[in-house]
Structure 1
Amino acid sequence: MEKKKLKLYLLLIAYILALILVVVHFKTILKGIGLIFHLLTPLFIGIIIAFVFNRPFELFQRLYRNKWKLKETPAKILSIVTIYILAFGICALLLSMVIPELAKNLTMFASNADDYLHEAQRFINEVTKLLNIRNFDISSITIATEKYLSSLANSLNHTLPQIVEVTASLISTAATAMISIALSIYIMSGKKHLLAQLRRTFYVYLPKCAHASAKSLSQVILQVFEDYVAGQCKEAIILGSLCFVGMRILRLDYSGLISVIIAFTALVPIAGAYIGGATGVILLLFVSPQKALIFLIFLIILQQFEGNVIYPRVVGRKIGLPGMWVLLSISVGGGLFGIWGMLISVPITTIFYQLIKKDVARREKILES
């Protein structure tokens, strides 16, 4: 048997065996992948932070080098210090504004939950009477809510294990945050060196025919993640801040709580706006239908202003994925991996979309020629 055919057969057998192992131990492999991703969480968060701060970092670096005539290393260090001082300052300012309001909103909602349910029942009765349909009784929801709040109050006397667990979780989260920040600093300051190392590694281990493809793939991945991660994070912060300020001006209830929900759901393209808006409307319906309507009108105007005026100037390019594929990727990713699947599915789908789009254009040129 020729060596080439023998090698081909051996590769085919190895591929079949690997496929059988994957099918048989699929759940175990998924758990292993999940464990690896969990262990690498600080690295992923650090990469996200580096993507978000990359453009301001480059802006400050150019400013310090051109205006202050600093050398590369001092300009780099000063840029990183400036960025993190501004970031921590802005976060501290936002938290000092939002957390007291958020705590007050949650307390208010818990204490008035019974009144809100009765008000909702009255509103539903009026609507059903107006439409001549059968009344919808939510007394069971009221009883369940009262029972839950009662059990929650009773469980506060036995919360020592939960307090210990929460404390350990907070310590772990703080440690993860510190490691992620340190990694983001290393990534930003040494990104040229890291990219050069990656290029050398690809050049050595990949065959020559794959060098151009690997370079194109890396450029697409970097561009997509920079546009998506940095863009969505900036959009979420801007939208949540504007929502908080606008709701305070309009004197709408739960401004802190709803603004946090709007900012968090804004990380999910297209669908996030509807999820956050619907949640805010439902919360305000318990208080007053008029306030819910005012909030809905305000949010529509705010999203139009933010999407057409602020986003193109502050954030930059869109992710370049049609809305249909965004919704499909969110649906599949959310169904498989929950909220994290919804967040990560869009950039991954965008990468495949861009690669297929380039390949189709290349093949069309070949066919035309």
Structure 2
Amino acid sequence: MKIEHNPKYHTISAYALGVLLLAIGFHWGLSNFGLVWSGLLRVIRPIRPILYGFVLAYLLNPVMMWMEELLEKSAFYRKIPGRLRRGLSVLLTYLITSAVLVSFLVIILPQVASNAAALAGQLQNYVAAAERFVNNMIDNIPEGLIPRDYIDQITLMIGDSIQRLFAWISAGLPMLFSLAWQFGSGLISACVAVIVSIYLLLAKETFIAQVRKLLCAFLPRQKVRRLMSVTRTTHMMFGRFITGKIVDSIIIGILCFIGLSVMKMPNVVLVSFIVGVTNVLPYFGPFIGAVPGFFLIAFVSPVQGLIFLVFILVLQQIDGNIIGPMILGDSTGLSAFWVVFAILLFGGVFGPVGMFIGVPTFGVFYALLKETITERLRSKHLPVDTRDYLTPIPEDETAEP
């Protein structure tokens, strides 16, 4: 029997086989996520300095563009040859960034280190003060209100909890020194990253043109335009969010330092540093930063610890309703529900880094999906506004029974 070859069925079979292989690979990847992730890290680890260089160039690009806009207003800048103008902008960008980092290291870090060292030296005093505070509360309970056996059990439980808390803090302090050592050992990688970022900033237009050239060589022009549109959306989402969030966190850290200094709180620099850093994480950051800050202050004065919580609540309300919207605006277009969903999803998979990049990443997916839905609805001559779908969809009168 002669078998006839049909190209149409061959194509269908190839697509079906491809989908089947993708499904099997996806299922295997989910079942062996730890193995896949470790393999990716093994591949990424040697090129981490280059990836860091890309990230550094991306973060410094807005500063360089701002510097170029300022320099273009001067007559001196117009006399410089075109190739040297970008070099001057990059040089000034790194000088300003280095000055900011050096100021931070010289002014902030020594005070943070001294506060941390003083805290480590006074841990036992804090334990004794906390135990005295608990005992005073128990002594003030009216006689006969709670059985004495229950009080003794509660006292023992609270004492054990306090001892475990401070044991955990004491065990965590050496970890800080270990992280500092790892930071120092990564100095070579940082130098390579800086060099890579300088090359990228000097010739960013050339690199972008090469990417477009590569895409046009292998993809249809319509696909290239679509991919470039997605890239612009991603750049806009991440650029606005990351830059705005860093500026917002710096402002919150400074305001926290001023407020705590006025109220004469203990460990002002360390607490303000923690509040500013954790504020980078959207939504949950203020709550994460308030917990260690409360304990650092409450160990010295419980009353001031409670005042600190009230102050942080007021500060975060100002940030969420005034400072944040002024700086970030509606940079992601996500409602509060989707922000929480993105933080929990990406934070659960990628940790603190996922909590930070989760919101803009999900914002990109949300914007692309919204654009696709809008285009499909318009192609079907259906309304685009969500309010038009609040009522049940009427039956199609032209449909056959």
Scaled by the length of structure 1, the TM-score of the pair is: 0.84
Provide the rounded CA distance (Å) in 2 between the counterparts of 1:150 and 1:48: 34
Contact 1:114-1:142 at 8 Å conserved across structures:
no
CA contact (8 A) 2:120 2:170 kept: no
Cα distance in structure 1, aligned partners of 2:282 and 2:109: 25
> Partner residue of 1:2?
6
Corresponding residue number in structure 2 for 1:103: 113
- Quick one: distance in 1 between partners of 2:292 and 2:171? 25
Following superposition, the deviation at residue 269 of structure 1 comes to 1.0
Partner of 2:84: 74
Q: Does 1:60 align with 2:73?
A: no
Cα gap change, 1:315 to 1:181, in 2 (>3 Å): farther
Size of the aligned set, in residue pairs, is 362
Match of 2:125 in 1: 115
Alpha-carbon distance in structure 2 between the residues aligned to 1:196 and 1:152:
48
What is residue 140 of structure 1 aligned with on the other side? 160
Give, in whole Å, the separation in 2 of the partners of 1:126 and 1:210. 72
Which structure 1 residue ranges, 5 or more long, are not aligned? none
Structure 2 Cα separation of the partners of residues 35 and 264 of structure 1: 29
Of 170, 179, 190 in structure 1, the residue corresponding to residue 203 of structure 2 is: 190
Give 1:354 shift: 0.8
Using a 3 Å threshold, how does the CA distance of structure 1 residues 317 and 91 change in structure 2: closer, same or farther?
farther
What residue is the counterpart of 2:307 in the other structure?
Answer: 294
Q: Do the aligned partners of 1:49 and 1:184 also contact (CA within 8 Å) in 2?
A: yes
- Partner amino acid, structure 1, of 2:104: L
Please say which of residues 141-150 and 338-347 is displaced more in the overlay.
141-150
Give a deviation string over 1:290-317, Cα, whole Å, max 9, x none.
3223323433444444455555565666
Q: CA deviation at 1:66?
A: 2.8
Q: Which residue of 2 aligns with 1:85?
A: 95
| Number of the residue aligned with 1:222 | 235
Q: 2:23 aligns with which of 9, 19, 25?
A: 19
Matched, 1:327 2:340: yes
Cα gap change, 1:24/1:150 in structure 2, threshold over 3 Å: closer, same or farther?
closer
Query: How far did residue 219 of structure 1 move?
Result: 1.2
Query: Please, which of 348, 351, 365 is the counterpart of residue 364 of structure 2?
Result: 351
Matches within 5 A, 1:240-279: 240-279=253-292
Larger C-alpha radius of gyration, 1 or 2? 2
The 10-residue stretch of structure 1 (267-276 or 1-10) with the greater mean CA deviation from structure 2? 1-10
Shift of 1:114: 2.5
The answer as to whether partners of 1:266 and 1:276 remain within 8 angstroms in 2 is yes
Q: Is the 8 A contact 1:244 1:259 kept in 2?
A: yes
2:344–2:355 Cα contact (<8 Å) kept: yes
Report SS of the residue matched to 1:368: coil
Q: Does the residue aligned with 1:287 lie in a helix, a strand or coil?
A: coil
Q: Is contact 1:244-1:256 (8 Å) kept?
A: yes
Task: State how far apart, in whole Å, the 1-side matches of 2:264 and 2:89 are.
Answer: 39
Structure 2: runs of 5 or more not aligned: 383-401
On the 8 A contact 1:330/1:346 being kept in 2, the answer is yes
Q: Is the Cα–Cα contact under 8 Å of residues 329 and 349 in structure 1 kept in the other structure?
A: yes
Indicate which of 200, 218, 238 corresponds to 2:251: 238
> Which has the larger displacement, 187-196 or 66-75?
66-75
Separation (CA, whole Å) in 1 of partners of 2:36 and 2:20? 17
Q: Give the conservation status (yes or no) of the 8 Å contact 1:65–1:71.
A: no
